[in-house]
Amino acid sequence: MTASNRPRWPIVSSTVNIDNLDLAAGRVTHANGRVASISTCARHPTPRVYVCGDAVPISPQLSPIATYEGDIVGRNIVAGAKYMPDYEGMATPVYTVPALAAVGLTEIAARRTGATIDVHVNDMRDWFSARSYAETVAWSKVIVDRVSDCILGAHFVGHGGQELINIFGLAIKFGIAAGEIRDHVYIYPTFSADIKHMLGRA
């Protein structure tokens, strides 16, 4: 995925406590709690300056991503600045009721790439799993490249989306085809067993 079609992360309102670090002494510029002159996590033009977590301006402010970036910073300090983060397939959840979750491209962004896509949209309120949990909202959208059968994006409202989104993140990161995900045998009855129906297999 190129920088031009990489999904833009949602802006999350939080404050990073860096005001007392005297960053100006190290020629490190910052604005709104984020280090400004950095293009990739954990590497900064100023020698011996590493950045991770909420101060990184190009990644979402999520605790597992901050932990991931912190691990990279630690390895770069020990072994030299040779490790780079890979944000491909990292999902974004919102823990509301119902929960929201997304990974990869939106439908609009996918169309802008010029790819021929299949968009699988499902209102799952009448599905057995949703009725079993008395869900009032259960919805999914999965965007698939028709030529390569690669998952380009997935979006959920309710229906255990904050858990299911990880499967689609794995597919995006490791190039697992939509058909391979659809044809996998899932334990039933579970929300994940609905994935094959989300992708068009009855």
Segment 105-160, tens digit of pLDDT:
999 999 999 999 999 999 999 999 999 999 999 999 999 999 999 999 999 999 99
Q: Into which CATH architecture does domain 92-198 fall?
A: 2-Layer Sandwich (3.30)
pLDDT in tens, 164-180: 999 999 999 999 999 99
Task: pLDDT band for 21, please (50, 70, 90 cuts).
Answer: confident
State residue 1's pLDDT score.
45
What one-letter code names the amino acid at 45? P
pLDDT in tens, 28-47: 777 666 776 554 544 555 66
What one-letter code names the amino acid at 65? I
State residue 79's pLDDT score.
86
pTM across the whole model:
0.79
Q: What is the number of alpha carbons within 13 Å of residue 42 lying toward its C-beta?
A: 21
Contact 171/184 with Cβ under 8 angstroms? no
- For the chain, residues classed under CATH 3.30.390.30 are 92-198
How far, CA to CA in Å, does 96 sit from each of 99, 143, 147, 157, 192?
Answer: 5, 23, 35, 10, 20
